[in-house]
Amino acid sequence: MSPERYQRIRDVLEKRQTDLTVCLENVHKPHNVSAIVRTCDAVGIHRVHTVWEKKYQFRRGTAMGSQQWVRQTNHDGINDAMAELKGQGMQVLVTHLSDTAVDFRDVDYTKPTAILFGQEKYGATDEAKALADQDIVIPMMGMVQSLNVSVAAALVLYEAQRQRTIAGMYNTQQLPEEECQALAFQNGYPRLYKLCQRKGLPLPAINAIGEVDADDSWWREMQITKAEADALEAG
């Protein structure tokens, strides 16, 4: 990995927002899930949460094309998801038209926030809506009453990004350094990462210029020299 590539990765990871996330409840169409996750990556979200029925289980490489940059946690049910999010001190917002709903732009997204998006056709379940802290709406001036879920997610998330940018929240690293190191190794040295996982070895550190910083015993366990590793990653 070149120093320039490493610096690009570090710049991205240092802006990750660990207290901003989305929860997808049975959003199952691959193009919608993929679009939402790409938006999450673009606004600096580190982890998304999902609640899927068995038939909509995560399809690797299709449903979440940005999975190497955005972590994913799947929950068995909406109660489990809500318990985890609220346990992290997050306000949970749900896109739902109700008497108590507020314009999505009137919410304070500088607070720890999780935004719940429901299934494409029916929206969030009654159970999910009951557990959420606040209903939010995107004002509609036309004949249609709702937007595509991935479009709605993009609008809400970019409002969150706007507020957090003004508040300077992208200027301070939130992601633990250990996680930054792990992601830098995984994405900067993908072949070595797979070999390391296969052998059950701890992930090495990455130094300031993007090189693997491991001792001789780690390389011996990998059964590969540093020169061979450089050649492997170079293709």
pLDDT at 108: 97
pLDDT at 218: 86
| Closest residue by Cα to residue 49 from 13, 73, 19 | 73
114 contacts 91 by C-beta, under 8 angstroms: yes
pLDDT at 65: 47
58 contacts 72 by C-beta, under 8 angstroms: yes
Residue whose pair of structure tokens reads 């991205």 in the numeric block: 12
Name the phi and psi angles at 128, rounded to 5.
-65, -45
pLDDT at 141: 81
Q: Which residues are part of a known binding site?
A: 95, 138, 147
Report DSSP letters for 98-111, one per residue: -TT-EEGGGS-TTS
Burial pattern 118-136, b for ≥16 Cβ within 10 A else e, equals bbeeebbbeebbebbebbb
Tell me the whole-structure pTM to 2 decimals: 0.85
Q: State whether the Cα torsion 48-54-60-65 is positive or negative.
A: negative
Name the phi and psi angles at 105, rounded to 5.
-80, -10
Give dist(CA 44, CA 46) in Å, integer. 6
pLDDT truncated to tens, each residue of the chain (235 aa)?
A: 888 989 999 999 999 999 999 999 988 888 888 899 999 999 999 999 999 865 554 455 444 446 678 988 889 899 999 999 999 999 999 988 788 889 999 999 999 999 999 877 777 788 889 999 999 988 888 867 777 889 999 999 999 999 999 999 999 999 999 999 999 999 889 889 988 888 889 999 999 998 999 888 888 888 877 776 776 676 6
Homologous superfamily (CATH) of 17-166 is SPOUT methyltransferase, trefoil knot domain (3.40.1280.10)
Domain map (residue ranges) of the chain: 17-166, 177-233
pLDDT at 223: 82
Q: Which residues are part of a known binding site for S-adenosyl-L-methionine?
A: 95, 138, 147
Report DSSP letters for 147-206, one per residue: --HHHHHHHHHHHHHHHHHHTTTTSS--S-HHHHHHHHHHHHSHHHHHHHHHHTPPPPEE
Name the phi and psi angles at 150, rounded to 5.
-70, -35
| Closest residue by Cα to residue 2 from 235, 195, 211, 163 | 211
